[in-house]
């Protein structure tokens, strides 16, 4: 029986790069994204990949993802990669629209927590692991990044507590580093980011975590190191 992973936000960027790698190694991968066409176009040729478009913050959609994993008989990996940047151009916190703040937290904090709660029994049975994708904005005070950074800081603290509560399940909150992605381009207002590495450069570090299973913690994965 092949290993099974759920990877959210897999239509592009790091989520797609990781999905391609898992697929190439024989995993069954259940993926989602808000954009049905983009998700299906990105993944339809990948063996073992099952695309389930939807809003990751929707509890019903979360149940569908977990049930899809349940039909495979196991869940070895949950990757909470889907992220909302928040309002753009990036505002100062004093000017941030609070509805946008709530939406950012729904996607970046509440959705991962909801999926984790549903996935824990399957992960425990399969001796699986959790990867929560975070950012250096969670620990650094970059002007304009307050909404996104605060949401990722909340995700990191939730990860720390979960790791303390469930020592039987490895929990990794990973900083993939600056990457050449659409989200990063949107964040910097269309400035040239061609000098940044592609998201594929962050995949080997994640795969090493999954394979080697070091202690739970915060890891930078472009050059794998524990920075907890």
Active site residues: 148
CB 79 within 8 A of CB 133: yes
Q: Is 139 helix (H, G, I), strand (E, B) or coil?
A: coil
Taking CA atoms, 202 is separated from 24, 125, 196, in Å, by 16, 28, 12
Q: Give the residue among 162, 106, 103, 104 at the shortest CA–CA distance from 132.
A: 162
Q: What is the Rg, in whole angstroms, of the alpha carbon atoms belonging to the chain? A: 16
Q: How far apart are CA 29 and CA 65, in angstroms?
A: 11
Q: Is 225 helix (H, G, I), strand (E, B) or coil?
A: strand
Other CB atoms within a 10 A radius of the CB of residue 97 amount to 12
Tokens for 26? 């024989």
């Amino acid at each position: 029986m092949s290993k099974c992973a759920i990877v959210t936000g897999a239509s592009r960027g790091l989520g797609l790069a990781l999905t391609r790698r898992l697929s190439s190694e024989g995993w069954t991968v259940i993926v989602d994204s808000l954009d049905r066409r983009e998700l299906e176009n990105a993944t339809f040729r990948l063996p073992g990949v099952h695309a389930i478009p939807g809003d990751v913050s929707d509890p019903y959609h979360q149940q569908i993802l977990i049930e899809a994993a349940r039909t495979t008989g196991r869940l070895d990996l949950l990757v909470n990669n889907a992220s909302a940047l928040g309002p753009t151009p990036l505002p100062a916190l004093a000017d941030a629209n609070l509805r946008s703040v709530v939406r950012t937290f729904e996607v970046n904090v509440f959705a991962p927590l909801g999926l984790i709660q549903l996935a824990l029994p399957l992960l425990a049975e399969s001796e699986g692991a959790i990867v929560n994708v975070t950012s250096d904005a969670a620990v650094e005070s970059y002007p304009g990044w307050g909404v996104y950074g605060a949401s990722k800081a909340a995700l990191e603290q939730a990860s720390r507590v979960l790791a303390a509560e469930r020592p039987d399940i490895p929990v990794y909150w990973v900083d993939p580093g600056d990457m050449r992605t659409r989200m990063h381009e949107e964040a910097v207002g269309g400035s040239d980011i061609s000098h940044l590495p592609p998201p594929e450069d962050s995949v080997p570090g994640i795969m090493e975590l999954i394979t080697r299973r070091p202690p739970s913690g915060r890891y930078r994965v472009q050059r794998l190191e524990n920075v907890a």
